[in-house]
Amino acid sequence: MTYLKLFFIGLIALGALVACFPGCEGGDLFGTVNECSTTTETADSSASDGGSSGGSTGGSTGGSTGGSTGGSTGGAPATNSITNVSRLATGSTSTYTVSGYVLDNGSVVTWGRDSYVERDDWMIVDNLTNATQISVSPYANLATGGNSFHHCAVRADKTSICWGRGTKGELGDNLTTDCGYGSSPTYQPTACAVPIFDTAGAASNLKKVQVGPGYTIWLDHDGNVYSAGECDAGKLGTNCSSNQAYGIKVNGISNVSDIMVVNNRVCAHKQDDTLWCWGENTSNEVTSAHNNDVEAPLQIASSVKSFAMGSNHIGMVYDNNTVFCTDNFLASVDQCTTNFAPYTSIKQIYFSSKVVGLLLDNGSQVSWGYDYYGQMAIRTGAQYQTNYTVEHGQIYENGAFSIADNISFIASSSGGTIHAIMDNGSVIGVGNNEYRQLGPTNANVQCSWDEGTVGAVGAGRSNCDHFTYIGLSPTGF
């Protein structure tokens, strides 16, 4: 009996001790903490062919502001993993831009032009291991003053780390200071800022990060979205009145499976195949209902299988594999749909400057638009192509051209540069190479289009009118 009394006294004492600590739902500015409950992995949207014919680009402003945190699939993965979709990022302007790639060993290599510094060689990011995904932001002048260029990664343990400009709070570490970059061409970038969040467990449950000019967006494994940085043009999605120096949950949206950031706009693809966007809308980039910035998530379409964002437009592949482009892409919405009507086995849609393209299930690609930088990969020489549809971009290797028909994933930029991962993990590039966006000087990238003038294939060309290997693979360079 004495032992039984002691047992119950111990239980009472333990209950009192637990009551002294906040629950998982409370608190503020949580950093990396132990999770109190098992999270669930949200399923990436991958609706089968067929389905409805697609929703209106206007869409309703509704949608639940709460909802569940995602359907249970047996618990969240113990770690994030590297995929071809997650490991490659291409900077999004035609001038000062950086690209990044996650190697199989979890380290990150970057190249290009950052903070007015053009890199001569591949640069490994210091203090960053076990990365699974990378996102890079170009140099940009901000509407509220100053400039921005910063980069972030998500790691295998589902945490994030950032580096670069931080004056607007975009690094998410509750500071407004820069870290981890220098002005020398040989300076090694250093991951240095660990973001914190207003929601318990978020910092150790991250799935994806996307960076834009002066701000950062994160997605966690429960389908929640967070933002930090410059409060401008509605891009934070929180109806903010001042900059946010740490990650704040975006209300009005849940069950998100993917996010994308371009310029001052964000789009989120939900598990139910609806597409929600917010941010700058002065030229009807998000909705044609008005030209005011969209300060909170707005549903713009339904039955969306996959999507992509360009400078001023959004492209969608509906569940029935029809393609739609918003904002009168190249002055004709109908042509975007009509030109791609013959193609139904679509893996991915992408934009690059004034070109829209599809990656097909067989590993080939088809593109349409204005081939200003040669990014359609059709070896057009000095002849700019406009309102032109072409199948099967060409690839240059070992002194000969062949059809690029074994592409696994395409990472494109609004500045006319495209990188792609082949089935074997090797990286190729095409398009704008004026500031070594395709690869650093020492990579000896072989191009054949120099400022719109036909030239022999060789290193140092400003633009590339064919895919070319840039000397980067999953194991190194």
Nearby residues of 157 by Cβ (< 8 Å), 6 or more positions away:
79, 80, 130, 204
pLDDT for the residue numbered 35: 25
- Residue 126 is given by DSSP the state B
Dist CA 285 CA 298 (whole Å): 12
pLDDT for the residue numbered 335: 74
Three-state secondary-structure class, residue 3: helix
Please indicate, yes or no, whether the overall pTM of this predicted structure exceeds 0.85. Answer: no
Three-state secondary-structure class, residue 338: helix
Dist CA 34 CA 28 (whole Å): 15
* Alpha-carbon distances of 238 from 122, 176, 246, 279, 420, rounded to whole Å: 37, 19, 13, 10, 34
The count of residues in the chain is: 477
Nearest to 253 by CA among 235, 271, 230, 265: 271
Secondary structure E strands in 373-414: 388-391, 394-397, 400-403, 407-412
Burial class (CB in 10 A: 0-12, 13-18, 19+), 17: exposed
pLDDT per position in the chain (477 positions), as tens? 444 344 433 433 333 333 332 332 222 333 322 222 223 333 333 322 232 223 333 333 333 333 333 333 345 567 899 999 999 999 766 556 789 999 999 999 998 876 666 777 899 999 999 999 999 987 778 888 878 889 999 999 999 999 999 999 999 999 999 999 877 777 889 999 999 999 999 999 999 999 999 999 999 999 999 999 999 999 999 999 999 999 999 999 999 999 999 999 999 999 999 999 999 998 888 988 888 999 999 999 999 999 999 888 899 999 999 999 886 566 555 678 888 899 989 999 999 988 899 999 999 998 888 888 888 888 765 555 655 666 778 898 888 888 899 999 999 988 889 999 999 889 999 998 887 888 888 888 888 877 666 677 888 777 888 999 999 999 998
Nearest to 39 by CA among 64, 74, 65, 81: 74
Q: 115 φ, ψ to 5°?
A: 55, 45
* Alpha-carbon distances of 374 from 228, 377, 472, rounded to whole Å: 36, 6, 21
Kindly state the helix (H) or strand (E) to which residue 111 belongs, with its residue range: strand 108-114
- Residue 18 is given by DSSP the state H
pLDDT for the residue numbered 429: 94
Q: 84 φ, ψ to 5°?
A: -60, -30
Largest CA-CA distance found in the chain, in angstroms, rounded: 95
State which amino acid sits at residue 18. Answer: V
Nearest to 297 by CA among 209, 225, 241, 244: 225
Nearest to 375 by CA among 393, 360, 392: 393
pLDDT for the residue numbered 384: 56
* CA dihedral sign of residues 175, 125, 111, 352: negative
Domains of the chain with bracketed CATH: 64-272 (2.130.10.30), 303-477 (2.130.10.30)
Kindly state the helix (H) or strand (E) to which residue 131 belongs, with its residue range: strand 131-136
Nearest to 253 by CA among 290, 215, 304, 295: 295
